[in-house]
Amino acid sequence: MLEQQSILVVDDESGIRDGMAELFARRGYQCRTAPSGEAALCIFRESPSQAVLSDVGMAGVDGLEVARTVLETHPETAVVLMSGRASAEVAIEALRSGASDFLLKPLDFSTAERSVQQAVSKKQVQRKTEQELLRVQGLLNEFANHNQAMMGLIAEAFAQMQRMRDAETFAHVRRVTGYACRLAERMGLSAEEEEALRLGALLHDIGKVVVPDRILLKPGPLTDKEYSVMKNHVEAGYRIVAGIPGLEGAARIVLEHHERYGGSGYPRALREDQISLGARIFAVADSYDALTQDRPYRKGQSAAIGREELRRCAGTLFDPQVVAAFLEIAETEGLEAVPLEDAADQEPSPAIPAAEKQQP
């Protein structure tokens, strides 16, 4: 290892705890131990570790609570949980808690070390990506001008950085950008307005860099508390983009992309014309893609069902005129299909990608 890494080993069985600690120390880790979840949290609060290797089944504060508490305040920490119970339910709960990996006891040291190393490496990459986002924004604040071509390159760079953290979010961004550009053309937006929409669509989820992995990558529906944390990405994204000269129009799209026509959206509960036309266009494009693409916890709907949902929600969630324009494109020109694995590698296209070509 190029630099000494720190790990906290937590287990109520002294033989396992001390044995693992000794082996990690021999491999150059700065290693501390805790005999319980309560002790682990006290030690971690005083001096956080890069990694935590914890048993799940402990009296009092168990390993799941250790993982959740640690990641709540230090999402950059790599947490690996282990258990002697070969249960799918325990494994699922372990991963839902935000742990990077789940291991079954008895386990050999090489397996534990490999899991910890992979978890630490992944966290380091994510942290560097987020730091790079902030660094790039600082440079742009100092050097960027109002040249629109430069702004396009900036947006592309941000989108590529997002890809490093979450490939599915990146693919979603590409598809939605395609839908939004086609709608903007159909609705007669000026070239300047269309470019602001394109850049805003590329950057709309950039604020997700503030969302912990255990929430962003959770393989299931979010709890109310998790959803509240997820919603913070809107204003975080706005702060990032609004600070760059020349992206003011795009920043408004980022800020309003979860507002809804009837006033039920966030963060400001805007309604109808209070929401910019670009954001109203984006809402239709974004929602159609969310409806028709697979998620970890459900299959995507067909294109026909997706279009029917837009019709049903016109006037409440979506601007009726934007919905009408989208359906007109679908019915007269069709929605071109682009394989998901290819969509993430394509440049933004005036064609609408990633939807099945079906008749209503």
Distance of CA 160 to the CA centre of its chain: 13
Query: Which of 3-7, 170-174, 228-232 is the least confident region?
Result: 170-174
pLDDT at residue 341 in the model: 35
Regarding predicted confidence, which is higher, 132 or 232?
232
Mean pLDDT (whole number) for 211-219:
78
Residue 67 has which token pair? Answer: 């993982």
- If pLDDT is split at 50, 70 and 90, which confidence band does 159 have? low
- Helix ranges (H only) for the chain are 14-26, 37-46, 63-73, 88-96, 109-143, 148-165, 167-186, 191-203, 213-216, 224-230, 232-242, 248-256, 277-292, 303-313, 320-332, 340-343
pLDDT at residue 154 in the model: 56
pLDDT at residue 336 in the model: 55
Mean pLDDT (whole number) for 106-126:
85
Q: Above 60 in pLDDT, residue 338?
A: no
Average pLDDT, the chain: 81
pLDDT at residue 177 in the model: 86
Query: Which of 57-71, 108-122, 150-164 is the least confident region?
Result: 150-164
pLDDT at residue 153 in the model: 57
Q: Above 60 in pLDDT, residue 101?
A: yes
In whole angstroms, give the CA distance from residue 15 to residue 347.
Answer: 56
Query: Which of 232-236, 266-270, 295-299 is the least confident region?
Result: 295-299
pLDDT at residue 350 in the model: 29
pLDDT at residue 344 in the model: 35
Mean pLDDT (whole number) for 164-185:
75
Strand 30-34 to strand 6-10: parallel, antiparallel, or no bridges (unpaired)? parallel
Query: Which of 71-80, 94-103, 275-284 is the least confident region?
Result: 94-103
Query: Which of 16-25, 116-125, 126-135, 189-198 is the least confident region?
Result: 126-135
Q: What angle do CA 202, 203, 205 make, to 5 degrees?
A: 110
pLDDT at residue 1 in the model: 39
Q: Above 60 in pLDDT, residue 45?
A: yes
Domain 144-343 has CATH 1.10.3210.10: yes
pLDDT at residue 80 in the model: 93
Mean pLDDT (whole number) for 8-33:
93
Domain regions of the chain by residue span:
6-122, 144-343
Q: Above 60 in pLDDT, residue 202?
A: yes
- Express as a percent the part of the chain with pLDDT over 90: 43
Residue 189 has which token pair? Answer: 């937006």
pLDDT at residue 132 in the model: 60
- On whether the CB atoms of residues 77 and 40 are closer than 8 A, the answer is no
Q: Tell me which range, 147-161, 296-310, 332-346, is most confidently predicted by mean pLDDT.
A: 296-310
- On whether the CB atoms of residues 176 and 286 are closer than 8 A, the answer is yes
What DSSP letter does each residue of 111-150 carry, written as one string? Answer: HHHHHHHHHHHHHHHHHHHHHHHHHHHHHHHHH--S-HHH
pLDDT at residue 158 in the model: 59
pLDDT at residue 124 in the model: 78
Q: Above 90 in pLDDT, residue 86?
A: no
In whole angstroms, give the CA distance from residue 257 to residue 317.
Answer: 12
Over the stretch 273-308, which tens digit does the pLDDT of each residue have?
Answer: 999 999 999 999 989 988 887 665 567 788 889 899
**The CATH classification of domain 6-122, taken from the options 3.30.1330.180, 3.40.640.10, 3.20.20.70, 3.40.50.2300:** 3.40.50.2300
